[in-house]
Structure 1
Amino acid sequence: MKITGVSAFTVDVPLTPLEEELGIGPYVTNHGQVDSMERVLVRVDTDEGLSGWGEMRVFLSPAATESVIEDGIAPLVEGQSPFEIERLRRQLFIEYTNVELFFSAVETACWDIVGKSTGKPIYELLGGWTAPEPTNARYRDADDTALVGDRTVEVAFCLGILPPEESRVKAREALEAGFSVLKTKAGRNWKEDIARIEAMHDEVDGQLEFRLDPNQGWTLDQAVRVGATLEDTGIYLQYMEQPIRTNAHRSLATLRRRLRQPIAPNEDTYIPNNLRSLIEAGAMDVGVLDLTPAGGIAGLRQQAAIAEDAGVPFTHHCAFDLGIRTAAILHAVTGIPGFTLPPDSTYYAWEDDVIESPFEVDEGTLSVPTGPGLGVNIDMATVEEYRI
């Protein structure tokens, strides 16, 4: 089997408004806000009629991203076997840039093809089910019978920056929908970040765990004050995600020594070889990994092995993933050992999806597809409806 073509399609899908239950749009971060999200869908075709799909976010512009994939990556992989995933990934070396992040969607599509060819879901190709059972007691009844499917993954609810009182409402919604972890953005005003967590913690009477993500938005002293203030009020986060800028590993290690709040680098892990440097510097309690900058599922597996060998727990990041990348993440966190914390997700907040049978969030969990490959089929009519 050989790859005969690579095509990219950019879609712009709206988010459910905040006024609706579990709605999160506009989603406000330290760097801006979004009411919809552009996603690039990638199809890899073969000479045996099988096609696979991948997905990534837009970089710079839809046209620029599509051009890198179709004009840059495609000629390098066409004529080669989609089964040789590691070799394809390792041959993509371009000086001065991390081209792997553009290859990731192609790589995911290759996994999809291999799974379809062998009749196996990707998580089985990776070695089989390794995901922990959901921790929320609501997932089982009194006699320990599962309330949701056996092949489910608990996910964390994600929320943008809102005033404390509006955040209270969303925390209550998340709890009542069965989520046990809520991640909120931060970084525009560190005092308001504290007030928001305190309000949500009070609203749910401590029944949710919280992740606080300023996207590098705090200075070291501000991060210390946020973490220490929350400690003084008895609130211990599941982790503080990338509290200060990247490549400041000694400062991150200093922060970790000064606080009892777990420190979780995210953007730092996108930079090649940074994961090992963070571990050696003692700068992380948790890793927040992402298959796209890692170069795909195989690259993510390599990162996971490094973190697991170091005894560092890790989870997976969310980038407003539609059904294709959501499926890839679900397969990855169940087939790659070491993912012990719920991955982030905004899937519940899409107005629509490009797959024929969209996922349903049930008691804060998503079911892992069991069909061949990614286990999802693409609805091309919907792709054309939202295509840019």
Structure 2
Amino acid sequence: MGLKLKQKAGEQMKIVDIKMMAVEIPVIPLTEGGIAPYRGSQDKIGTTRTNSLIFRVTTDEGIVGWGEMNAIMNWKVTKALLEDYIKPLVIGKNPFDINGIMREFAPVYNPQLNTKCFLAAIETACWDIMGKAANQPVYALLGGKIRERIDICYCTGMMEPAELKEKARQVKEEGYRTLKTKGGVDVLKDIRRAQALREAGGEDFDIRVDMNQGYDTLQALRYLHGVEELGLQYIEQPIGVNKFDDMKSLRSRTTTPIGINEDCYIPNNLLRAVTEGCIDVAVVDFEPLGGLSELARIAAIAREAKLALAHHCGWDMGVKLAAILHATSAMPAFSYPMDSTYQAHGDDVLTERIRIADGSFLVPEGPGLGVEVDEEKLQFLAVQ
């Protein structure tokens, strides 16, 4: 009876308030066992602190849902989008009507502008609200989990080969079985980095390298030939987006699996990459896709195509991480370990951090996202 009453109440529930808070946390330095400064092929300086936007969505029944996303361009632009564009279309809506809310933001005349990505955090908060109203975890609303834990791919930035070798030894000793590093600047040095990782990790250690579109096609081919015997798990987005013919050609010339990431956020690119035989794996993130509902759509395409998926990491704090764990625990296509920097974050916005055991995240239990945000800590970590 209690569940039915909650569900009935949910049918009439309305969103009455949306608050957004910018927070910043330190990244643990390499010298202390962490990963800072973390540098990729597109970074001029390494990351030592990271920030996120935390959303608090309140309903007229007093249920609060939490969401998280990265800033769009910068804090001022994102705040203006929230106040002038998002709030007028979302406040007053039923959080159970996610399809209706997202439909308000579907572009008609400007299809190249994926406005739904602005809603990812609010969509997450709606899932949190629905779970709390129904007294069910989000993974149950998504059909039920098929995994009790999600394996972690420990993400590191670009380092010298000797540093990377030492880091790989540490990561393996801590129980992680997969490591991801960056590349895409210098082919020969990138090959030496991969060799150092294989030497330090051994044969039972998975390695993936993200080039962030850093190579042209000839450089990518040279790299792939240089690492052919190392048995890498996959190479992520070695060349620029929309280069389907070149990606297919690269794939035909190597036994090293090839994946995409940035291509996944351009409408229809993932489907085209699959149908044209360009890739072996896709790395996706629900935030730029536009929410967990969009992630489920992509996961259904991948499952039908028998394409393995891994979830991307955007310096996610505990709120977004919890949403990722609920979603990927319930979607069969996510058969690869998820990228994560969370283990090297110096703090979090949650009262209790998400648990890690034997190199895996434990899926949070409890209604909604199953995590509790520490609102005092939000104020402490706030960026003015």
Instruction: Indicate the residue corresponding to 2:160 in structure 1.
Output: 163
Q: Does 1:28 align with 2:18?
A: no
TM-score with structure 2 setting the length: 0.93
**Matched residue of 1:28: which SS?**
coil
Instruction: Indicate the residue corresponding to 2:146 in structure 1.
Output: 130
Report the aligned-residue RMSD.
1.1
Q: How many angstroms does 1:183 deviate by?
A: 0.5
Aligned partner of 1:65 among 57, 78, 84: 78
Instruction: Indicate the residue corresponding to 1:13 in structure 2.
Output: 25
Q: Does 1:191 align with 2:188?
A: yes
**Matched residue of 2:131: which SS?**
helix
Whole-Å separation in 2 of the counterparts to 1:203 and 1:340: 25
Q: What pairs with 1:109-188 in structure 2 (closer than 5 Å)? A: 109-131=125-147, 151-188=148-185
C-alpha contact (below 8 Å) 1:121/1:373 kept by paired residues: yes
**Deviation per residue, 1:298-322 (Å, 9 max, x gap):** 0000011111111111110001100
C-alpha contact (below 8 Å) 2:260/2:282 kept by paired residues: yes
Q: What pairs with 1:1-388 in structure 2 (closer than 5 Å)? A: 1-21=13-33, 23-32=34-43, 33-94=46-107, 95-96=109-110, 97-131=113-147, 151-231=148-228, 234-388=229-383
1:197 partner amino acid: A
Please, which runs of 5 or more residues in structure 1 have no aligned partner? 132-150
Instruction: Indicate the residue corresponding to 1:138 in structure 2.
Output: none
1:12 partner amino acid: E
Whole-Å separation in 1 of the counterparts to 2:289 and 2:161: 35
Q: How many angstroms does 1:361 deviate by?
A: 2.2
Whole-Å separation in 2 of the counterparts to 1:93 and 1:198: 46
**Deviation per residue, 1:39-78 (Å, 9 max, x gap):** 0111111100011111111221112122212331121111
Whole-Å separation in 1 of the counterparts to 2:98 and 2:62: 19
Deviates more, 1:84-93 or 1:376-385: 84-93
1:24 partner amino acid: I
Whole-Å separation in 2 of the counterparts to 1:69 and 1:324: 19
**Matched residue of 1:34: which SS?**
coil
C-alpha contact (below 8 Å) 1:30/1:186 kept by paired residues: yes
Whole-Å separation in 2 of the counterparts to 1:169 and 1:342: 22
**Matched residue of 2:214: which SS?**
coil
**Matched residue of 2:31: which SS?**
coil
Count matched residues. Answer: 366
Q: How many angstroms does 1:213 deviate by?
A: 0.2
Please, which runs of 5 or more residues in structure 2 have no aligned partner? 1-12
**Matched residue of 1:307: which SS?**
helix
Instruction: Indicate the residue corresponding to 2:7 in structure 1.
Output: none
Whole-Å separation in 2 of the counterparts to 1:366 and 1:194: 30
**Deviation per residue, 1:335-388 (Å, 9 max, x gap):** 122111111111101100001101232211111111100011111111111211
Whole-Å separation in 1 of the counterparts to 2:134 and 2:85: 29
C-alpha contact (below 8 Å) 2:149/2:329 kept by paired residues: no
C-alpha contact (below 8 Å) 2:354/2:364 kept by paired residues: no
Deviates more, 1:162-171 or 1:250-259: 250-259
C-alpha contact (below 8 Å) 1:40/1:66 kept by paired residues: no
Q: How many angstroms does 1:114 deviate by?
A: 0.2
